């Protein structure tokens, strides 16, 4: 699966841009502020309805315009072509897939799975636990469609219970929400554990491809005490949670700690080591997704050279090549990613102040 055509309208610096990518490596080169990241942002917007830089759409829409639009064509098995598109602005979002309007953005995300690695991607290790929970959610969204339904139901029930806690509703109201949270929460935990086990099998096979990652391990904390049923834990925590006005236990508090030689990578690894570890984690997800579903994802790497030395850069490109999926890499200096290896197809795009040309 690959993106074979991309049209961008009114996104950041671009009023209009067209890209005809190849299924292998697409290298986007240009000076600072030319629009490299904006192109990757356009692909991410089409696939997920969101920017990876800001939750505020007004910053992404070209100044002076009301909305942005991104359309694309996804090619499956070299022959099946699917058209998709998204319009987004202050007045809302509209998505189109194969000639019809979609009910939810997730329909586009299923057709075009996208994994992004950007200069702040070390936040996966150093940022809040929510970053790591959404990492797990990415894999499960693509592998187990029912997982998202359970998660959405869990979030609804959680909001209801929090509201009931804040408004001092009686115990029998809370018990109903706790039953639902208990069932859904235990199921989410089982999915996450299973996914992590599978992911780690793939990671162990792949980690030798990047330097410095021997001895990497994980510790998953599910969000409530081991050996206790979630429903019982919620019932016993009710008194304290009434005072706080929110639910302290459950998979919405789960944490994934990544370690190397027993020490947290978030606490002690250098920025370059963290970036290499994040590359490994995200690219392992792409490989595991392929194994589980038979489908490939598109990988976006914004500013690959930043903070990676030559050895790490080359190893990263080699790793990307081995995944055999479509890759978009941006860089200021094409020479830094010159040793591209033997890709099945590759193309270089030059960006200059919002205009685009290819070799
Ligand atoms: N909403 C907007 N409307 C118009 N231009 C914008 C908007 N948001 C950002 N820009 C401009 O778009 C340009 C391109 O930004 P972008 O981040 O894509 O560049 P880049 O090539 O990735 O740069 P760098 O190498 O410095 O990371 C910048 O000059 C920025 O000021």
Nearest CA owner, ligand 1 atom 31: 33
Does ligand 1 lie within 6 Å of residue 206's CB atom?
no
Q: For residue 86, is pLDDT > 80?
A: yes
Kind of pairing between the strands at 255-260 and 346-352: unpaired
The two three-digit tokens of residue 350, written as one number: 């030059």
User: Is the alpha carbon torsion for 174, 163, 57, 128 positive or negative?
Assistant: negative
Residue with tokens 């860089």: 331
Exposure of 87 in the CB half-sphere (CA atoms within 13 A): 9
Known binding residue 275? Answer is no
Question: Three-class SS of residue 219?
Answer: strand
Give me the pLDDT at residue 338, please: 64
Does ligand 1 lie within 6 Å of residue 58's CB atom?
no
359 pLDDT tier (thresholds 50, 70, 90): confident
Does ligand 1 lie within 6 Å of residue 42's CB atom?
no
Task: Give how many domains the chain has, as a whole number.
Answer: 1
Burial of 51 (0-12, 13-18, 19+ CB in 10 A): buried
Ligand 1 centre distance from Cα of residue 14 (Å): 9
The reply to whether 53 falls in a domain is yes
Nearest CA owner, ligand 1 atom 18: 35
Q: How far is CA 180 from CA 175, 183, 184, 226, 242, in A?
A: 9, 5, 6, 19, 18
The reply to whether 86 falls in a domain is yes
Ligand 1 centre distance from Cα of residue 268 (Å): 33
Which residue range forms the structural domain that includes residue 66? 1-113+298-359
* Distance in angstroms between the alpha carbons of the first and the last residue of the chain: 23
Does ligand 1 lie within 6 Å of residue 51's CB atom?
no
Closest of 62, 24, 25, 23 to residue 42, by C-alpha: 62
Does ligand 1 lie within 6 Å of residue 35's CB atom?
yes
Known binding residue 34? Answer is yes
Q: How far is CA 302 from CA 45, 117, 208, in A?
A: 14, 6, 23
Interior angle at CA 121, CA 89 and CA 222, nearest 5 = 100
* Ligand 1 atom with least separation from CA of 119: 27
The reply to whether 284 falls in a domain is no
Domain containing residue 107: CATH number: 3.40.50.300
The reply to whether 37 falls in a domain is yes
ipTM of model = 0.98
Nearest CA owner, ligand 1 atom 8: 12
Packing angle of the helix pair 171-206, 145-166 (nearest 10 deg):
140
Ligand 1 centre distance from Cα of residue 244 (Å): 43
76 pLDDT tier (thresholds 50, 70, 90): confident
The reply to whether 180 falls in a domain is no
Nearest CA owner, ligand 1 atom 26: 32
Does ligand 1 lie within 6 Å of residue 38's CB atom?
yes
The reply to whether 36 falls in a domain is yes
337 pLDDT tier (thresholds 50, 70, 90): confident
Known binding residue 33? Answer is yes
Give me the pLDDT at residue 24, please: 94
230 pLDDT tier (thresholds 50, 70, 90): very high
212 pLDDT tier (thresholds 50, 70, 90): confident
How far apart CA 218 and CA 197 sit, in angstroms, is 10
Known binding residue 88? Answer is no
User: Tens of pLDDT along 34-49?
Assistant: 999 999 999 999 999 9
How far apart CA 346 and CA 342 sit, in angstroms, is 9
The reply to whether 126 falls in a domain is no
Known binding residue 35? Answer is yes
How far apart CA 126 and CA 130 sit, in angstroms, is 11
User: Tens of pLDDT along 268-300?
Assistant: 888 888 989 999 999 999 999 999 999 999 999
pTM of the predicted model as reported, rounded to 2 decimal places: 0.94
Q: For a pLDDT cut of 70, what percent of the chain falls above it?
A: 99
The reply to whether 217 falls in a domain is no
Ligand 1 centre distance from Cα of residue 269 (Å): 30
Ligand 1 centre distance from Cα of residue 299 (Å): 21
């Amino acid at each position: 699966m690959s993106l074979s055509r991309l049209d961008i309208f009114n996104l950041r610096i671009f009023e209009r841009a067209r890209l005809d990518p190849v299924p292998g490596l697409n290298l986007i080169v240009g000076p600072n502020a030319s629009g490299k990241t904006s192109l990757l942002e356009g692909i991410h917007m089409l696939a997920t309805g969101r920017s990876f830089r800001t939750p505020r759409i007004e910053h992404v829409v070209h100044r002076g315009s009301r909305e942005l639009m991104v359309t694309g064509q996804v090619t499956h098995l070299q022959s099946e072509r699917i058209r998709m598109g998204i319009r987004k602005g202050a007045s809302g979002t509209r998505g189109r897939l194969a000639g019809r309007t979609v009910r939810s953005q997730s329909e586009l995300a299923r057709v075009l799975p996208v994994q992004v690695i950007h200069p702040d991607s070390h936040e996966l290790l150093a940022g809040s636990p929510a970053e790591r929970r959404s990492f797990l959610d990415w894999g499960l969204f693509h592998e187990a469609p029912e997982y998202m339904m359970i998660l959405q139901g869990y979030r609804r029930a959680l909001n209801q219970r929090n509201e009931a806690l804040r408004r001092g509703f009686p115990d029998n109201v809370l018990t109903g929400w706790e039953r639902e949270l208990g069932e859904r929460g235990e199921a989410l935990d089982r999915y996450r554990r299973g996914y992590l086990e599978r992911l780690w099998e793939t990671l162990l096979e792949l980690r030798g491809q990047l330097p410095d990652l021997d001895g990497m391990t994980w510790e998953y904390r599910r969000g409530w005490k081991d050996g206790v049923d979630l429903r019982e834990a919620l019932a016993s925590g009710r008194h304290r949670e009434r005072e706080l006005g929110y639910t302290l236990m459950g998979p919405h508090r789960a944490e994934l700690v990544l370690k190397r030689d027993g020490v947290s990578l978030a606490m002690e690894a250098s920025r370059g080591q963290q970036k290499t570890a994040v590359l490994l984690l995200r690219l392992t997800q792409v490989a595991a997704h392929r194994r589980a579903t038979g489908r490939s994802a598109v990988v976006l790497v914004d500013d690959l050279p930043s903070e990676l030395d030559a050895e790490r850069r080359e190893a990263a490109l080699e790793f990307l090549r081995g995944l055999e999926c479509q890759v978009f890499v941006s860089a200021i200096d094409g020479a830094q990613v010159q040793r591209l290896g033997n890709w099945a197809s590759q193309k270089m795009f030059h960006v200059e102040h919002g205009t685009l040309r290819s070799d």
